Structure formats: structure tokens, C-alpha cells
Amino acid sequence: MNLDVVVCGVGGQGVVTLGRVVAGAALREGYDVRLLGQSGLSQVGAPVMVHLRIGAPAGPSPKVPLGAADVVIGLERMEALKLAPYLRQGGTALLSDEAVRPYEARFRPQRYPDRQCVEAAFSGERVLWIPALDLARRHGPPAYVGAVMAGALASVSNVVDRDQLVLALRAERPQEADAEVEAFFAGYEFLTGADD
């Protein structure tokens, strides 16, 4: 089974960490993995995009081709627009509603997209909104949005096992552990509605 995922957001949200967690879980399951993360700039707020390819073997290109991503994950509402061309027909977009407004949009609300505008960009494909920032804050700092979205991913795809994701999450950030795992399950349960 193959899973191609593209994730984007802005610096400080843990986009690269989210990629590492999912990739780490897939590696533990014995998959071949390629994770391309543009992690060179350190400022809070810079756009970040991560391509993740999981398979046996993973697709040869480190970038997911357009229209080939099974799942796209957007951590920031405006950046999420960049994901639209990657989503395949019948794929799923997991979007956090968090808005990190650029300078100008702070004064001119019309210069920032609303939900409808983002949904329209995905032209009818399945878009699931997740209140990731709220869920993260219930369990810890805003940086837990990555964990919430990893949980959401586990609820829409079983290519990577949920428990492996939890292990990988613990391995990636050992000092955070329990609270962050709770944030993960908050994201999982938000979409499944279950509490197993």
C-alpha cells in the first residue's frame, strides 16, 4: 500500500515535526519512506511545505506529483490553498482552521481567504475542517496542532498504524510525551467521534 501526503503551514506550527512523526511511524512498520521538508528558515511564520511518500518502495520522486496526494494536511488556512493541486481525485484534505494573517491582511480582512474560498479551491473533493488550535490548547501549547493533525490522519488512513504514530510521536519529542499524545487522540476522536 502506498500513501502520499503533502503537509503545509507556517514556521512554528510543527509542520516538519508532523512529517517526521508520520514518516517515523511508517519506517517502524517496515515501509520505505521519503520525506522532503523545507526546513531551512527558522522564523516563526515562514511558509513551510513537506512532501511525504510511503510505500514499498516509496515513489521515486521526493516531491509528490500534482494530483497524486492521498491526503493533504493544512495547518494554516491561507497556506492550505497551496495544497489543492496536489490532492488526488477521491483524496482527503484535513485542514486546520487556524489563521496566521500576514501583515496586510491584519488591516484588510478581504485580503485573507475564508473557509468557502479554501473549499472552492479543492473543487468538490472531501475537505474536513479540524479545530486543531482549540484542541491543541486543551492539552498544551499551540505547537501541539501537529499532534492533533497526526491524530486526524490516523482516523482517515490506516496505511500507517495509529499506535505506531503514537510511538513515533513519543520518540520525536520525548520530553512532551503524555500531554501531546492526548492532543493526538483529541484529533483522532474529533473525526471518528469514538473514544476507543
Segment 101 to 140, residues that bind other proteins, using CB under 8 A: 101-113, 121-123, 137
Which helix (DSSP H) or strand (DSSP E) does residue 24 occupy? helix 15-28
Q: What is the CA radius of gyration of the chain?
A: 16
CA angle 132, 157, 5 (to 5 degrees): 75
183 binds other proteins (CB under 8 A): no
Q: Specify the residue, 94 or 121, whose C-beta has the smaller distance to other proteins.
A: 121
Cell 500576514, located at residue = 102
Q: Angle between the 178-192 and 145-156 helix axes, to the nearest 10 degrees?
A: 40
Q: Specify the residue, 111 or 115, whose C-beta has the smaller distance to other proteins.
A: 111
Q: Which of 2, 131, 138, 167 binds other proteins (CB under 8 A)?
A: 167
Q: Specify the residue, 60 or 193, whose C-beta has the smaller distance to other proteins.
A: 60
State the minimum distance, in angstroms, from the CB of residue 155 to other proteins: 18
State the minimum distance, in angstroms, from the CB of residue 51 to other proteins: 9
State the minimum distance, in angstroms, from the CB of residue 109 to other proteins: 3
Sign of the dihedral through C-alpha 91, 96, 102, 106: positive
Long-range contact set of residues 163-166: C-beta below 8 Å, sequence gap at least 24: 164/25, 164/26, 164/28, 164/29, 165/21, 165/22, 165/25
141 binds other proteins (CB under 8 A): yes
178 binds other proteins (CB under 8 A): no
For residues 16 to 55, the per-residue mask of contacts with other proteins, x marking binding by CB under 8 A and - elsewhere, is: ----x--xx--xxxx-xxxxxxxxxxxxxxxx--------
Q: Which of 5, 72, 73, 100 binds other proteins (CB under 8 A)?
A: 100
Buried (b) or exposed (e) across 174-184, using 16+ Cβ within 10 A?
Answer: eebeeebbbbb
